[in-house]
């Protein structure tokens, strides 16, 4: 018997100007703000960026309602600056790295924190805590030339109108150019890759009905509502 599968449709996110950006892979940087590293119980380490990956299928867009995921009782938000790769490369130099960025957006790295911490305690991969359906909301992409250099600017998350996370891009332990140089030493970065650059302190849980509004100064805000669990 020959099995025939429908080809997977590309995951597209909107861009300023009514275009669309096809997503390839997600690289998510962990513990890239000092205070967040400390609240996760680890010491900041500027010499060794830490990352994990997510499937492209985890991406959802602005104004989405995402289901409260199964298997967790501690579903948490992490607001992040997202860099979208427009020009691929391997062993990219730090001084050339930002020329490979097509644009920037606000993102959320949604996390089943209890599953992540359980895996971390056992020295196991974090996939169940991080890489699951609808766990990577991302907003409208702004072209890099319109946003400017990602070296400063307020980053913030409100839940039901109350500020829960706030920081500044200038506080990134490893800024975007160093992250791209590091990752390109391990992988060939390709157009369509998204780099989630890390979250400031203040992560916490959400429940069905909560509305999250994520902002980075100069970018289109991202609004996401937590829905009930899927039946």
pLDDT 10s digits, 216-230? 999 999 999 999 998
C-alpha 106/C-alpha 48 separation (Å) is 24
DSSP bridge pairs for 21: 13
Global confidence as pTM: 0.94
**Residue 11 pLDDT grade (very low, low, confident, very high; cuts 50, 70, 90):** very high
Q: In the chain, what's the furthest Cα-to-Cα distance?
A: 58
Q: Which domains does the chain have, with CATH numbers?
A: 11-227 (3.90.850.10)
pLDDT of residue 45: 66
Half-sphere exposure of 173 (CA within 13 A, CB side): 22
DSSP assignment of 120-174: HHTT---HHHHSSTT-EEB-PBEEHHHH--TT--EEEEEETTEEEEEEEGGGBSS
| Order of strands across the sheet that contains 26-30 | 50-54, 26-30, 194-196, 79-85, 101-108, 142-143
Q: Which helix (H) or strand (E) holds 24?
A: none
E-strand ranges in 4-63 read 11-15, 19-23, 26-30, 50-54, 59-60
- Output the six-digit token pair for 203: 């992560």
- Output the six-digit token pair for 55: 């499937």
pLDDT 10s digits, 32-64? 987 766 766 766 666 678 899 999 999 999 999
pLDDT of residue 89: 97
- The owner of tokens 């400017």 is 148
């Amino acid at each position: 018997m020959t099995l025939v599968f429908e080809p997977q449709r590309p995951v597209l996110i909107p861009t300023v100007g009514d275009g669309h950006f096809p997503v390839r892979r997600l690289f998510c940087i962990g513990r890239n703000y000092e205070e967040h590293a400390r609240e996760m119980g680890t010491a900041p380490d500027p010499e060794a960026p830490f990352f994990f990956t997510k499937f492209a299928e985890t991406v959802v867009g602005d104004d989405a309602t995402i289901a409260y995921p199964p298997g967790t009782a501690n579903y948490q938000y992490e607001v992040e600056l997202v860099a979208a790769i427009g020009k691929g490369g391997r062993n990219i130099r730090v001084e050339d790295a930002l020329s490979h960025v097509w644009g920037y957006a606000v993102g959320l790295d949604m996390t089943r924190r209890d599953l992540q911490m359980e895996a971390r305690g056992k020295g196991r991969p974090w996939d169940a805590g991080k890489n699951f359906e609808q766990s990577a909301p991302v907003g409208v992409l702004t072209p890099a030339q319109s946003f400017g250099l990602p070296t400063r600017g307020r980053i913030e998350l409100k839940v039901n109108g109350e500020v829960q996370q706030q920081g500044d891009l200038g506080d990134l332990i490893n800024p975007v150019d160093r992250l791209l140089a590091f990752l390109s030493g391990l992988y060939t970065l390709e157009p369509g890759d998204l780099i989630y650059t890390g979250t400031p302190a203040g992560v916490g849980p959400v429940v069905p009905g909560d509305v999250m509004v994520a902002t980075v100064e100069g970018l289109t805000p991202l609004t996401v509502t937590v829905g009930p669990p899927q039946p």
